[in-house]
Amino acid sequence: MQRYQAQSMSAGHLADSDKIVRFDLHQRFQHVLMFSSFFVLAFTGLPQKFYALPISQQIIGSLGGLEATQNIHHIAAFVMLLDFFYHGLYLAYSLVIRRRLNMLQMVPVPQDFLDLGQNFLYFLGFTTRRPRFRRFSYLEKFDYFAVSWGMVIIGGSGIILMFPVAVSRMIGGAIVPVAHAAHSDEAVLAVAWIFLVHLFYAHLAPNVFPFNTSIFTGVVPRERYQEELPLAPELAPAADGAANPLSFIPWLGRRSG
């Protein structure tokens, strides 16, 4: 464990050839906006869902009451939605203008399910080989699309709850109690996932403990990258990755052996 720790801590001092830039400045900034607004939303939202708990009432009281808590919640929600659209524009620009097609490796493929199966076989001791991930592991893909799904469900229902009268006029009032139910139930799922799974793999897992700086610096030590995502295109010889960036999709390109 200490070996890993020393590695992750010293990522900044590695020679350029020993580092891989995994996240560009936009991605890092998007993540900062995302998690900071996420924490504020969870901190101001959960006490409203679990209103009967004394701790909830203390939190809301210390924030200046329900109205103040809701104002903070709405501001953070605005930041998160802004971040969502920022990411959408960034994604379109990167794919269409800059042709960074490696990003498409985020799309789930059947191999992900095989990787998942193999990982469980590894956990249970039926194989000694971990699955060899491409640029994004199935958990990272799940993280990414869970956020997207959450943005649509929680963000959409949140807007409905902010403007119930106007929304009722447009699509009928029955949507309001649905939004009320969906908003916080889905939020609990998101918070549970982030705290139980995402933060574990980001910071507590043995190979990154105690703090994985790569989402802030953008840099991952090549050695760890090799270990975690051995099939990532950055690790392949340049010609190979450039030849067919869509090779990871079975029906679009031949799979490189």
Which chain residues interact with other proteins by CB under 8 A?
Answer: 47-48, 51-52, 56-57, 60, 65-67, 69, 119-120, 122-125, 139, 146, 164-166, 168-169, 172-178, 180-182, 185-186, 188-189, 192-193, 196-197, 200-201, 205-206
Are the CB atoms for 128 and 122 separated by under 8 Å?
Answer: yes
Q: Give the 3-state secondary structure of residue 205.
A: coil
Distance of closest approach, residue 136 Cβ to other proteins, in angstroms: 16
**In whole angstroms, how close is the CB of 13 to other proteins at the nearest point?**
27
What amino acid is encoded at 33 in this protein? L
Nearer to other proteins, 6 or 52 (CB): 52
Asked whether 7 and 224 are in contact (CB, 8 A), the reply is yes
The smaller minimum CB distance to other proteins, of residues 20 and 60, is found at 60
CA of 4: how far to CAs of 7, 162, 206, 222, 227, in Å?
Answer: 5, 47, 7, 13, 11
- H-type alpha helices, the chain: 2-9, 25-49, 54-62, 66-92, 110-123, 138-150, 156-162, 164-171, 175-193, 199, 214-217, 222-228, 238-243
Beta carbon nearer to other proteins, 186 or 223: 186
Q: Indicate the SS3 state at residue 139.
A: helix
Q: Which is nearer to other proteins, 200 or 216 (CB)?
A: 200
Output 91 or 188, the one with its CB closest to other proteins: 188
Q: Which is nearer to other proteins, 12 or 64 (CB)?
A: 64
CB of 206 to other proteins, least distance (A): 5
Q: How far is the CB of 44 from other proteins (least distance, A)?
A: 12
Which residues does 112 contact at the CB level (< 8 Å), separation at least 6?
A: 138, 141
Least distance CB 111 / other proteins (angstroms): 18
Q: How far is the CB of 141 from other proteins (least distance, A)?
A: 14
